[in-house]
Every structure is written in structure tokens, then in C-alpha cells.
Amino acid sequence: MFKQLAQKILDPARADRLFRIAVLLSALLLPLVMTGFFLQLGWSSAPAWREFGLSLLWSTEWDPVANRFGALPAIVGTLLTTSIAIVAATPPAFIIALYLVDAPPWIGRPLSQALDLLAAIPSVIYGMWGLFVLVPVMQNHVQPFLADTLRMKHLPFVGEYFNGFGILTAGIILALMILPYISAIMRDVFRMTPPMLRESAYGIGCTRWETAVHIVMRYGARGLLGGVFVGLGRALGETMAVLFVIGNVAMLPDSIFAGGTTIAATLANNFAEADGLLRHVLFALGLVLLVMSFIVQLFAQSCLTATAAARGEER
Amino acid sequence: MKKWFLSMAVGLAAVAGTAAEITLNGAGATFPSPVYRVWTYGFSQSTGNRILVNYQGLGSGAGVNQIKAGTIQFGGTDNPLTAEELEKAGLIQFPMLTGGVVVIVNLPGVPSGALKLDQPTLAAIFLGKIKAWNDPAIAALNPGLKLPRMKITVVRRSDSSGTTFIFTNYLSKISPEWQQKVGCGPAVKWPVGIAGQKNPGVCNNVSRIMGAIGYTEYTYAVEARLSTVQLKNREGKFLPPTAAGFAASAANADWKNAPGFYMVLTDQPGADSWPITGVTYILIRRDQKDAAAGKALLDYFNWCYTSGAAAAARLHYVGLPENVVELIRNEWKKIRF
């Protein structure tokens, strides 16, 4: 029986058709899942939008007893932690990638493997490390230094209140988490620079720095942006690592030292027990996060298109 | 090919044969879950693993949701349902244990268990009105202690929780301002502080932050070796948390006239009553579809009240007196198999 079936499938004409159908179906799965997510989240969050309207997006109220909810603290927390992470992680990731491409193999290879290993560590490990190591360090050393020694406590948005938990700590954890990610992607793209181009650059007397900046970086600009956006996407949706150290406070943070919350952390904290209106509000938060990721993707695409000519990319 | 399939089937059957005949799944409150962990294991052992009981400490809200949805055989909650809610959902509710919610602090330089707080200072701290440990109001209550010049960080639960319900219920009773501004519930709009996930998360955050104050179920505080606070009870006596104090609070409870055993034991009279005592409840369905599983469920709870009492006491919970257990057995007669 199996033999017959196998013969039928292996018939070249039939196989081609079958393959075409299989490929098409698999490809169609993507838009299907995508629209499915939007529809499901939109449908499940509808009661929340009906109750609060768009004010859900800018209300700062979070009162489970009175059943009043607003998403702004979570949205602001998500944006703040993600921005801190990207700003802190991109420069070192870029430098690491540049070095790894040019480093002699005896040091480049182990470092490269270490980078891949770091990128594979589950985020909950980063969260635990953050809670047990980073939080006390932030409380006892970093915050007094920033606030008192650098006198940052007099600046707006940098308050005095701090206990190790909060937006800044979460941002730093996220930065550490996405750094190997961004770096690994950049490294892989930089590696694709044709050796001939680099050798030519050395040939006309370029220094290593000049080669790195004018040839490797120029050639790999696409990877640079791509790496940053992958890191951005990961930081936006990260849950466990953030939940451990952000403080889970559903209030608008008055400084980067204050506790806050993110959309993903709010979902993880409340979803298991939520019912009634809160459940719909959580679905609405999920929708907001999805839309945010979507915007990041669109932005990434438009960035790449806009800079294509400047990078001399063939269209 | 056929042979291979046959051997596979035999193998699967053999695996299934070693599993329990009846599996009872429960979920809910984390407040009693240290005891439930011991109980479910002990009972399963005592039946030679014929009946397997599982309990997941997901939180009271989850326990109520899941028993209503019918995904589990019993739910645990610290936030009791009212008689009407029980009627509407077709559930039966009965108390399982009494335990205490304690206030924990991380205060360098202050001996463990030495700090005293009364009702106004406790409420003011959680309202964010007292911001530092060397506040005159706290110092007046603790003349012998050298209180550090340190900011107070309030730590509370990030998830919906029966422990929070018991604690905010107490704060609502002792402080009109709390009652009016925040209120009582498994999750509330906290005026200040940061949050940790579940009881262990709160303990963890308190032990990480110098100058932190939080609340947790007593066993978690003991396990985490955290310093507890002496609280002033209704009769004006300062008490450290003890199982005897929890029992004293429960002594006055009038279970007979409480429909669905609805009872909140915070701020009870009695010189030795610990002020923040709570009862944790079990919810089961009134209509048991599977008679064998239903009977096994009652066997399990009966075992908990009798053979399980020692384990509960060891973990600083207070079991229910025999006359109350008798009332509960009467309530079980309402169950239809």
C-alpha cells in the first residue's frame, strides 16, 4: 500500500503540482496567522474600547477596585525601556561586530562562539541575574553616583527616588539581552563584504579604521539597521526579564529611576486571574503591542528603502 | 509494520497501567499552597498513588475562574464567594485552613521582630504618608530602637491575590482614608510602592531592598527568614505573629450562621487575636459528574482535616476545630453525584 502511494507521489508531474500546492499553502499561512492575530485581539478587546474609547490609550488610571483602566503607563514604560536598551546596546554591538570580522581567528572564533551562546540564553536567566546581581548594584552604587555625584537629580525626569528596581534597571537588562543579538546579526552581514573590496581598500593605502567605516560598514548598512530593528522588536515584547526588575507599578514614571511597567509585564502579571473588563483591557493592551511592533517593522522597511540609494544598493 | 504498531500499543497501555486510577486537579490560592503541597503528596502516597491529587498555586482569582470554567475539580480561594455567587455558579464552598498575613520589613540595624506598628502608622505607611523610617510617629512607638534614616519602600503584589484581599480588607477596617481612597480587593490601586509576583516575589523584593516593607502569608516570611512586625490588635496589645494568635482570631467566628461559610477574620476582638488573620477556602462543584472522582475528592478533604492536621500546624497554619469540620461534612451532603 505504501509503495503504491509513494509511487503516485513520486510521479514527477504530480510531485511538481503537489509541491506547488504545499508551498502556496505554507506561504498563505503567514497572512492568515497575521490577520488572525489582529482579528482575535480586536474582537476580544472590543468591550474595552467600547467602555473607555480611545481614552484607554492616554488614561493613566489603573484601579482594579473601581474597574477603571488606562494603558498609558504601560505604553510609556515599554517605550522608555526599549529606547534605553537600543541606545545603550547599539554602539557596543556595532564595535564588537566590527572587531569580530577583522580579528585574527585564534581570538575571533572563540569570541564569536561566545556571542552566539549569549544570544541563546533564555530571557528569564537575564531576569534572575538582574534581580540578584544588578538590582543591589543599582541601588547601592549606580543610583547614588548618578543622582548625587553627577547631580542628575536636579534634571527633569531624573528623580531622587530609587530602590534598584525601575525603568533604568529594566532598560539595562534589556540592553544586555539584545546586545548579543544585534551584534551577531551585524557580524554576519559585515562578513559578507566581498574580500576583494576590502583588499582593494588596503591596496590603495586605507587604514583598518578607514576600511571598516568606508567599506565594511557601508556595505553592511542594511545589516546594521536590520540588527537594530531585530533588537528593537525583541526588547518591545520582552516579558520575564523586565517583570523581575521593573517594579510593576501601573503609574506614569516621574523619572527613569522610578518603578514602572511595560505592556508585556502587565499582561504576564494579570492575565491568569483576569476576568470581566480587565480581561478585555489586557487584550486591548496586546493589540497595542502588536500595532507597535507592526509600526516598528514598517519603519524599518521604509528606512531601508529610503537609504537604499545612498548605500548604492541595486534596486 | 503491523507488529511495530502492536508493540507500540502494548507499550502505551503498560505506561497507562502504572498511572493513577483517579486524578484530581486543583488550582488557586497561593496563601495555603505550602500546606497543599504537603497534603496532595501525602494523600496520594497514602492511597498507594491510586488517587493522584495535584494543586497549582496560581492565585485565588485563577482558582475561582477555573472551577467556574470546569477545568479543575477543586479551586482554592482566600477571597470567599458570597452565597448568591455560589448559588449562581453551582458551587459549594467550605473553609480549609486559617492562617495569618504578616507585615515584613528589611531594616538594617533593627533586630528581627522588634519593630512595632499600630493601626494609624501601618495605614499611613501604605498610603505613602509616612515616607521615612525615622518618622516621629514610628519612633514614638519604638522608643528602644535605633531607626535608620532610610526611605520606606512599600512592596506589594503585582498579581491579583487573596493575600492582598485579606490585607486590604484589614487596612479598610482600620483606616477610613484607606477605605475611601483605595478600598479592598484582590488587586487595588496602590498609592505607593513597587510590586512583586506572588508571595515569594514580594519576599524576594523585600529582602533585596533596604528599607522595604511588605506583606505576605506567614510561612513565606518564615521560609525567607524575614523580619516580621509586631502589630497592635483591636484590644490595643502588640503581638508578634504566631499560630496561637491566628487561632485566637478564629475562635470567635460564628460558622453556623455564615452562609457558604463566608467569613473574614481581620481585626477580630480578643486580647490574643492576631489582627490580619485569613481563612482559605475550597470550591467544588455541587454536581459531580463522575461519582468515583467526586467521592475521592471528599475522601481527600476528609484526610486533610484529620491526618493532615499535623502537617498544617508544622507550617504555622491553624486547622479548623472538630465542630466546624462536622458542619462542613453536613454541607457535603448537598453534593449530587
Query: 3-class DSSP state for residue B160?
Result: coil
Number of domains making up chain B: 2
Rounded to a whole number, what is the distance in Å from the CA of A293 to chain B's nearest CA? Answer: 25
**Chain A residues closer than 8 Å to B183 by CB:** 65-66
pLDDT at B229: 95
Which residue of chain B has the CA closest to A68? B189
Q: Taking residues B77-85, what's their average pLDDT?
A: 89
Residue among B188, B204, B211 minimizing CB distance to A131: B204
Rounded to a whole number, what is the distance in Å from the CA of B327 to chain A's nearest CA? Answer: 30
- Helix (H) or strand (E) segment spanning residue A99: helix A72-102
pLDDT at B8: 52
pLDDT at B124: 95
The answer to whether B194 contacts A247, with C-beta atoms less than 8 Å apart, is: yes
Q: What residues 248-267 of chain A have any CB closer than 8 A to a CB of chain B?
A: 248-250, 259
The answer to whether A273 contacts B62, with C-beta atoms less than 8 Å apart, is: yes
The answer to whether A270 contacts B159, with C-beta atoms less than 8 Å apart, is: yes
Is B269 within a domain? no
Distance CA B218, CA B203 (A): 11
- A247 at B interface, C-beta within 8 A: yes
Rounded to a whole number, what is the distance in Å from the CA of B158 to chain A's nearest CA? Answer: 6
The answer to whether B195 contacts A269, with C-beta atoms less than 8 Å apart, is: yes
For testing contact with chain A, the best of B155, B205, B210 (most A CBs within 10 A):
B205
β-pair type (B74-77, B277-285): antiparallel
The DSSP secondary-structure symbol of B81 reads: P
The answer to whether A139 contacts B60, with C-beta atoms less than 8 Å apart, is: no
pLDDT digits (tens, 9 = 90+) for A24-76: 999 999 999 999 999 999 999 999 999 898 888 988 888 888 888 999 999 99
Q: Taking residues B8-16, what's their average pLDDT?
A: 47
- A144 at B interface, C-beta within 8 A: no
pLDDT at B7: 52
Q: Are residues B169 and B250 in the same domain?
A: yes
pLDDT digits (tens, 9 = 90+) for B233-282: 999 999 999 989 998 888 877 888 888 888 888 998 888 999 999 899 99
pLDDT at A288: 94
CA distances for A32 relative to A21, A41, A248, B32, angstroms: 16, 14, 34, 44
ipTM of this complex prediction, to 2 decimal places: 0.76
Distance CA A138, CA A173 (A): 11
Q: Print the domain residue range for B41.
A: 2-98+279-332
β-pair type (B22-28, B51-57): parallel
pLDDT at A252: 86
β-pair type (A68-69, B116-117): unpaired
pLDDT for residue B17 is more than 70: no
Do B31 and B156 form a contact (C-beta atoms < 8 A)? no
pLDDT (tens, 9 = 90+) of chain A, 315 residues, equals: 677 777 777 777 788 888 899 999 999 999 999 999 999 999 999 999 998 988 889 888 888 888 889 999 999 999 999 999 999 999 999 889 988 888 888 998 999 999 999 988 888 899 889 988 998 888 888 877 777 777 666 665 555 556 788 899 999 999 999 999 999 998 888 888 888 888 898 899 998 888 888 888 887 777 788 888 889 988 998 888 898 889 888 888 888 888 889 999 999 888 877 778 888 999 999 999 999 999 988 888 888 787 776 666 554
Q: Are residues B170 and B251 in the same domain?
A: yes
Instruction: Write down the CATH superfamily of domain A54-310.
Output: MetI-like (1.10.3720.10)
| CATH number, domain containing residue B127 | 3.40.190.10
pLDDT for residue B231 is more than 60: yes
- A53 at B interface, C-beta within 8 A: no
Is B262 within a domain? no
* Residue-range domain boundaries for chain A: 2-52, 54-310
**Chain A residues closer than 8 Å to B108 by CB:** none
pLDDT at A180: 93
pLDDT digits (tens, 9 = 90+) for B307-334: 888 889 888 888 888 888 888 999 898 8
Q: Identify the CA nearest to A112 among candidates A14, A208, A33, A186.
A: A186
CA distances for A76 relative to A254, A263, B68, B110, angstroms: 11, 9, 35, 38
Is B61 within a domain? yes
Residue among B183, B194, B197 minimizing CB distance to A249: B194
Q: In sequence order, which ranges of B162-242 are alpha helices (DSSP H)?
A: 162-174, 176-181, 198-208, 218-223
pLDDT for residue B164 is more than 60: yes
For testing contact with chain B, the best of A1, A2, A65 (most B CBs within 10 A):
A65
Rounded to a whole number, what is the distance in Å from the CA of A272 to chain B's nearest CA? Answer: 6
Residue among B61, B184, B209 minimizing CB distance to A164: B209
The answer to whether A164 contacts B158, with C-beta atoms less than 8 Å apart, is: no
**Chain B residues closer than 8 Å to A65 by CB:** 182-185, 187-189
Residue among B61, B187, B209 minimizing CB distance to A139: B209
Is B214 within a domain? yes
pLDDT digits (tens, 9 = 90+) for B183-224: 998 889 999 889 998 888 999 999 988 899 999 999 899 989
Distance CA B207, CA B106 (A): 6
**Chain B residues closer than 8 Å to A163 by CB:** 151, 153, 194, 209, 211-212
- What does A256-309 look like in DSSP terms, one character per residue? TTS-B--HHHHHHHHGGG--THHHHHHHHHHHHHHHHHHHHHHHHHHHHHHHHT
What length does chain A have?
A: 315
The answer to whether B185 contacts A65, with C-beta atoms less than 8 Å apart, is: yes
Rounded to a whole number, what is the distance in Å from the CA of B63 to chain A's nearest CA? Answer: 8
Percent with pLDDT over 90 in chain B:
49
- A131 at B interface, C-beta within 8 A: yes
Is B274 within a domain? no
Q: Are residues B157 and B241 in the same domain?
A: yes
pLDDT digits (tens, 9 = 90+) for A160-198: 556 788 899 999 999 999 999 999 998 888 888 888 888
pLDDT at B14: 44
Rounded to a whole number, what is the distance in Å from the CA of A56 to chain B's nearest CA? Answer: 17
The alpha carbon of residue A249 and the mean position of all alpha carbons in its chain are separated, in whole angstroms, by: 22
Do A45 and A283 form a contact (C-beta atoms < 8 A)? yes
**Chain A residues closer than 8 Å to B61 by CB:** 272-275
The alpha carbon of residue A4 and the mean position of all alpha carbons in its chain are separated, in whole angstroms, by: 50
The answer to whether A274 contacts B204, with C-beta atoms less than 8 Å apart, is: no
The answer to whether B189 contacts A275, with C-beta atoms less than 8 Å apart, is: no
Which residue of chain B has the CA closest to A160? B151
CB pairs under 8 A between A and B: 83
The answer to whether A135 contacts B208, with C-beta atoms less than 8 Å apart, is: yes
Q: List the helix and strand counts (H, then E) for chain B.
A: 14, 12
- The neighbouring-strand residues paired with B239 are B231
The alpha carbon of residue A89 and the mean position of all alpha carbons in its chain are separated, in whole angstroms, by: 11
**Chain B residues closer than 8 Å to A166 by CB:** 194
For testing contact with chain B, the best of A138, A240, A248 (most B CBs within 10 A):
A248
Is B49 within a domain? yes
Tell me the pLDDT band of B13, cut-offs 50, 70 and 90. very low
Rounded to a whole number, what is the distance in Å from the CA of A35 to chain B's nearest CA? Answer: 28
Query: 3-class DSSP state for residue B262?
Result: coil
Residue among B58, B185, B212 minimizing CB distance to A64: B185
The answer to whether B195 contacts A62, with C-beta atoms less than 8 Å apart, is: no
Q: Are residues B110 and B249 in the same domain?
A: yes
**Chain A residues closer than 8 Å to B189 by CB:** 61-66, 250
